[in-house]
Structure 1
Amino acid sequence: MRLAAITPIRVPEEELARRQARYDRLAPPPVRVRLLNLDDPDAPTALNTAADVRRSEELVVAAARDLEPGSYDGVLPDCVLDPGVERLTREAPLPVCGMLRLTGGFLAGHGVVYGSVTRNPAIGDELDDRLRAYRLDSAFVGNAVLDLDFAAVADDARWNAALRDVVAGLAGRGARAVINGCSAVDVADDGSGPDAVVVEPTALALRLVAAGWTEGLFG
């Protein structure tokens, strides 16, 4: 199963290689992921504002529309915010997989009360809006902001240190699971607390895509 993943921002080559290696490690058979970088010179290099989020969505939609159906079996925006997923579900030439839609649907389907963490408020606001649009917010207790800069995305130790500080707070609000609101961060084994499991959306989404492919849902 050939899956095209599209970055939500324009990343340097070394970051693209890091993310591709991560997909290679996480993708279960029969899924194979090729990560495509946004090549527009005006693409955002980080999602720090609502304007960045909207521009990212426009560019991901454009890139997905340009994919050759014969080259891939599906498309996955490389972002927990599912940029353009609802539009692409209607307009793209390929089946569209959204990390947040898959992850939130999985948790809601299991009756799990959950929360999320994001790097900054702009990402948190968009994640909350996406869950509402998907009607997956009835068991959502809210988002906690880590207040980290973009460099922390590639710094697992720094991200996980901040994550540990907020998981207990979300558990105290009733969350049994916490969505790690970044598609490019590895969650440490000790990131989950005794009362809340930290869910890594990229890994979970890829497993669900593999299951969907095996069940013949991409035909």
Structure 2
Amino acid sequence: MKDLNLISQLTYYFTHNGLYVLQQFNRTFLMAIYGVLLGAIVGIPIGIWISQHRKLSPAIIGIANVIQTIPSLAMLSILMLGLGLGENTVIVTVFLYSLLPIIKNTYTGMLSVNPHVLDAGKGMGMTRWQVLTTIRIPLSLAVMIAGIRNALVVGIGITVIGSFIGAGGLGDIIIRGTNATNGGAIILAGALPTALMAIITDIVLSLIEKRLTPKTSSAR
């Protein structure tokens, strides 16, 4: 009976607040996307660069690891001192947490390219830049996408926590439910779309990753 009552309350909430939930869904998703895009813009070139300068890779990946070990709520609080409340702080936080998976996967992908393929490219007279852009990067794309996929799923969770610093999003609904007397349905109204967003994002990016996986590497 309690489960049926909870379902009816959840249905009632979505019926009367569906547009509001959709707005917060979009807000959460966009904050996560912007943060991960920034992470990709910065992290992919760094990953490519350290694959060419391997002696520096432990230091760069180590710095990204240190950032990753800081609790997200603590990171939000630290950045809030400089950036203030709101979306920008959350986006920068997602950006920082995106660096490790993106840099590491880009670096791993670049190193996993078959050396015989690289030698063939060089034997055809390709310059170092041509080898990078026409062989290394295309063959590493699937691994790079895997890093972006991990970063985005983590980023969605961080944007929900960002509601504590006034960023809005689905976290606002969850917080409202925790403050209500019988707020189980309201909490679910925020938690279920968040979980759905993470699952759909993971599935879509995993499909892209499979499409980009070279047939030669999948056959190994």
Same fold (TM over 0.5): no
> TM-score, normalized by length of structure 1?
0.26
> Going by fraction, where is strand more abundant, 1 or 2?
1
> Going by fraction, where is helix more abundant, 1 or 2?
2
